[in-house]
Structure 1
Amino acid sequence: MFIFRLLLKNAFRHKLRTLLTMLGLIVAICAFGLLRTIIDAWYAGVDGTSSTRLITRNAISLTFPLPLNYAERLKTVEGVTGISWSNWFGGIYITERNFFPQFAVEPASYLALYPEYVLNEDEKKAFILDRQGAIVGRKLANQYGWKIGDQIPLRGTIFPGTWAFTLRGIWDGVDAKTDESQFLFHWQFLAESVRKRSAKGADYVGVYVVRINEPNNAPLISERIDAQFKNSLAETLTETEKAFQLGFVSMSEAILVAINAVSFVIVIIIMAVMANTMTMTARERLAEYATLKALGFSPGFVVKLLFGESLVIALMGGGLGMLVTLPIAAAFAKAVGTLFPSFVVSETTMALQLLASAIVGVVAAAWPAWKMSRIDIVNGLRHVA
């Protein structure tokens, strides 16, 4: 306890310098945590995937659809226990700035494949029975203030026209990784509307979602599915849901690498600032450390004093930076809306922030501690601070 009080007094002997250094630490650790959270949010869709689901799409490109009659053939593949399908809609709600994922799905089978969407039975039944019904995630509903029974108009881009939907349900995610920013409606409603305008394209789907009985057999079952449609007019490519999501993340790989690099550069910069502070501190106390050695204190004691003081400053600044990260991340999540399915500061990120603070404290004190441990007593006592 005495040592801690001594370290605390030493740390705040030059209050302005210490406070400015801590302010820099708070900003740096907060920025580090926020950037790490952005990276985590980019991978949120990957982390929320299931190992029992596969995605089957057109082998040429995701923009090419698959025939609806593939559904029956998929059911016959060994290892497949359930299937559903979806189409990307790409509508606009009021203005282009209001972006959120919209999918036309087969209601009953799709919800059966996504148990992480927690929807009460009454709302689920109302959605299934209403051809123009829709359901949304809680995050999306909160963002736009939607309530059950609201009419939601979407202006089509891929599918022209104004489409009106009645909100029949709002689902909650089973955990923080579950995407609550999607808008789901009936695929049949979309197909019928397309058929009225043109028979072409009505009986096609974007992707098939396939449930399998054994996650370890995913590669084998994927091969069986793709072999089923080999040499057809629409060959398929089947992959795990995680691999499918990673395909989208890889499109932004350069951005993620840059964000990752910047997060560590920030830590290195504050490490240099902290090292400068500790070097100035050691230089000012040269005579004190020489006196301690003259009184019989070992060089190790001097080293501990410097490392301890550096760690006190670093951990206090880092701890405050961690606390500041939480409200800033919440404000950022609100500002970006549904851009990220989930934007939460994880325990891993907070652990990395704490680790970064400790590393800054240790590295910053290394050089001055080494110098002070080798100080000559006579020369040190001659020093005038």
Structure 2
Amino acid sequence: MFMLKYIIRNLFRHKLRSVLTVVGVAVAVLAFGLLRTLVGLWYAGAEHASDTRLVTRNAISLVFPLPISYLDRIRGVSGVSSVSYGNWFGGIYIEEKNFFANYAVEPRTYLALYPELVLSEKQKNDFILDRKGCIVGERLAKTYGWKVGDLITLKGTIFPGNWEFVLRGIYHGAEKATEERLLLFHWSYLNESVRQSFPSRADQVGFFMIGVKRPELAPEVSLAVDSMFKNSLAETLTETEKAFHMGFIAMTEAIMVAIQIVSYMVIAIIMVVAANTMAMTARERIGEYATLKTLGFKAGHLAGLIFGESVAISVLGGVLGVAATFPVAHWIEVELTQYFPFFSVSMETLLLELLAALSVGVVSGIFPTWRGATIRIAQGLKRIG
């Protein structure tokens, strides 16, 4: 108990230095946690992908289409429960900064394949029956203030022109990770317009979504579909939904690795800062440590005092950083909802934040502890006066 009281009294003997060190550790821990969460969110789409859904696209690249005539042949593959299809539309709402994903899909089969898009039966039927109808996610609707019945106009990029849609439904995600920033409309509406303006681009889709009866059938179905169209004018590549997402993530993997490296560098830098602070503290108190030794304190007692102070300062900063993580994460989720569907910090990240803070205290306290514990009484007493 005496040792604990001594450590607490020593914590803020040099108030400004200690406060700055605590704040520095807190900021470093906060940055570490937010960067780790950001990396985790980047992989969230792949982690939450269904293991009973496959994606079939052109084997050369996603930018090359597939004939809609493949649909019936894919349906006939053993193990396939349902098939849907669609195109990336790439429309812009008013101006380019208003970016969000928009797809032309076959509504009935697509919604059946994606039960996580929760829509009332009335809105679902209204969407299916209206050729110019569309549905959007709840977050997207809130962003632009849309409500059911509104007329939405998108400027086509891949498919030129102004495209008008009637908002027939607003879905919400069954899970927090479900994307709520999508706009979906009828593929038939797109195809009919394309047939009139660009006949050569009609009756083509960007992808087929395949539902399999059981997850273990996925490799067999993938092989069967790709074998069916081998040596055709449009060969296919079929992969699980998770692998499809990971293909996009791989394009930016170097950025994610860089972010992870930065998160660890932040902790390394604050270790150096904290170590310098504790070294200054130990150097200033050399005379006190020598005096304590003359009073009977052992090297172990001094080591406990110095090391305990280092760990206490770092842990205090770590707790402050963890506490700040929640309001900052909430602010990011609310203010940057256009970029992050959710920004939830996991318990694992919080524990790693505390572990990082503890590591800072341990590492930064090693040298000052060794120096204070091994100081000779005569050498230390020279510093007095």
Q: For the superposition of Structure 1 and Structure 2, which TM-score range results when normalised by the shorter chain?
A: over 0.9
Q: 2:309 matched to which residue of 1?
A: 309
Any residues of structure 2 matched to 1:133-144 within 5 Å, and which? 133-144=133-144
Larger displacement relative to structure 2 (92-101 or 156-165): 156-165
Query: Does the C-alpha gap of structure 1 residues 97 and 378 become closer, same or farther in structure 2, counting only changes over 3 Å?
Result: same
Any residues of structure 2 matched to 1:160-199 within 5 Å, and which? 160-199=160-199
Rounded to whole Å, the distance in 1 between the matches of 2:172 and 2:260 is: 31
Query: Does the C-alpha gap of structure 1 residues 305 and 174 become closer, same or farther in structure 2, counting only changes over 3 Å?
Result: farther
How big is the shift at 1:2? 5.4
Secondary structure, aligned partner of 1:122: helix
Larger displacement relative to structure 2 (63-72 or 215-224): 215-224
How big is the shift at 1:337? 4.1
Is the 1:29–1:353 Cα contact (8 Å) retained in structure 2? yes
Any residues of structure 2 matched to 1:44-123 within 5 Å, and which? 44-123=44-123
Secondary structure, aligned partner of 2:200: coil
Q: 2:39 matched to which residue of 1?
A: 39
Rounded to whole Å, the distance in 2 between the matches of 1:303 and 1:217 is: 62
Q: 2:208 matched to which residue of 1?
A: 208
Rounded to whole Å, the distance in 1 between the matches of 2:219 and 2:294 is: 72
User: Is 1:6 matched with 2:2?
Assistant: no
1:154 maps to amino acid: L
Rounded to whole Å, the distance in 2 between the matches of 1:88 and 1:25 is: 45
1:179 maps to amino acid: E
Secondary structure, aligned partner of 1:200: helix
Rounded to whole Å, the distance in 1 between the matches of 2:95 and 2:82 is: 37
Identity %: 54
Query: Does the C-alpha gap of structure 1 residues 186 and 286 become closer, same or farther in structure 2, counting only changes over 3 Å?
Result: same
Query: Does the C-alpha gap of structure 1 residues 214 and 306 become closer, same or farther in structure 2, counting only changes over 3 Å?
Result: farther
Q: 1:273 matched to which residue of 2?
A: 273
2:362 maps to amino acid: V
Number of positions where the alignment pairs a residue of Structure 1 with one of Structure 2: 385
How big is the shift at 1:270? 0.7
Rounded to whole Å, the distance in 1 between the matches of 2:201 and 2:343 is: 37
User: Is 1:364 matched with 2:368?
Assistant: no
How big is the shift at 1:206? 0.7
Is the 1:21–1:274 Cα contact (8 Å) retained in structure 2? yes
Rounded to whole Å, the distance in 2 between the matches of 1:341 and 1:245 is: 16
Rounded to whole Å, the distance in 1 between the matches of 2:2 and 2:168 is: 64
Rounded to whole Å, the distance in 2 between the matches of 1:51 and 1:306 is: 54
The alignment yields a C-alpha RMSD, in angstroms, of 1.9
1:218-243 per-position Cα deviation (integer Å, ceiling 9, x unaligned): 22321111111111111100111111
Rounded to whole Å, the distance in 2 between the matches of 1:347 and 1:131 is: 45
Rounded to whole Å, the distance in 1 between the matches of 2:146 and 2:347 is: 32
Q: 1:28 matched to which residue of 2?
A: 28
Larger displacement relative to structure 2 (364-373 or 3-12): 3-12
Q: 1:348 matched to which residue of 2?
A: 348
Q: Which 5+ residue runs of structure 1 have no aligned equivalent?
A: none
Secondary structure, aligned partner of 1:54: strand
Secondary structure, aligned partner of 1:73: helix
User: Is 1:322 matched with 2:322?
Assistant: yes
Q: Which 5+ residue runs of structure 2 have no aligned equivalent?
A: none
Is the 2:333–2:341 Cα contact (8 Å) retained in structure 1? no
Is the 1:44–1:342 Cα contact (8 Å) retained in structure 2? no
How big is the shift at 1:179? 1.1
Is the 1:84–1:109 Cα contact (8 Å) retained in structure 2? yes
Is the 2:153–2:165 Cα contact (8 Å) retained in structure 1? yes
Larger displacement relative to structure 2 (52-61 or 115-124): 115-124
